[in-house]
Amino acid sequence: MRAVFLRASRSKWLASQMMEREFARRAVRKFMPGEEASDALDAAGRIAAQGLGAVLTQLGENITSLHEAQAVRDHYLGLLEQIAARTQRDTIISVKPTQLGLDLSLDACLEHLKTLATRVRQADAGILWIDMEDSSYVDRTLDLYRRLKASHENVGVCLQAYLRRTPADLDGLMPLKPAIRLVKGAYAEAAHVAFPEKRDVDIAYYAIADALLAAASRGNAFPVFGTHDRGLIDRITTRAAALSVPDTGFEIHMLYGIRTADQLALARAGRKVRTLISYGRSWFPWYMRRLAERPANVWFVIRSLLP
């Protein structure tokens, strides 16, 4: 089932068909509040009242011109202004390098990231997060992060536990005292590149999380754990306590619409929890990858669509 969803995520024909179907649009609304930035901002305001922070990201990737990349940069600059105008101080943003032109020019992408990081710092808007895409982008994305971190402390990057290379990548980033958002990974990868079995991914995730928490206990990293696996989260929070990492020394990020009760329970227990809120017209590939990450979400969607 996971392989089917990942193949579907790459089909432009299927995307064009499904994005116009009302039943598909209703299904995806279970995982995103709407296609407009205002929908995401409204949702961030609602969850803030419940003690949750938010991470906003506009869906879309692999743009085809530098003009489009500049438009994406300007969109995020406008989004930061809207966040400030609404005084939603616990709302931050996360961006995809390919949306900012990575396929076309690494240097142009870097300049867009610098502009955004500068604006985030000026607005005291927390960390600018850089998403990780499929394995072919890892080297370039980490290069961007290193170069950006040299001039901007307020940036973080995502690492994917299912990639076999990730422990070595983390070791290479440690001298930077990095902010790392650790996820399991949701792209179709060859078995020699990524662990194909969930059990192995879970083992790798906890091992990397343990290394991040050890670094955090020395003030050498700021870890974020992006997972809905409650058992894994409980192990991580227990380990954080054993290493004397305070609740302010790490965060837990979960997707909008998934395990909302757990998000609220963790926040009530004193954890710093942020909800990742996606929006935009280009939702189909993202939605297929979310279903592939956890096929049980399929039954969640089916149940939610029934009377």
Residues taking part in catalysis: 131, 181
Q: At residue 61, what is the residue type?
A: E
Comparing CA positions, the residue from 62, 138, 134, 148 lying closest to residue 104 is 62
Comparing C-alpha atoms, which of 241, 240, 169, 176 is closest to residue 204?
169
Tokens of 211: 């290394």
Give the DSSP H/E element, type plus range, for residue 279.
strand 273-279
Cα dihedral sign, 208-141-143-252:
negative
How far is the C-alpha of 242 from the C-alpha of 213, rounded, in Å? 10
Residue indicated by tokens 């059990």: 199
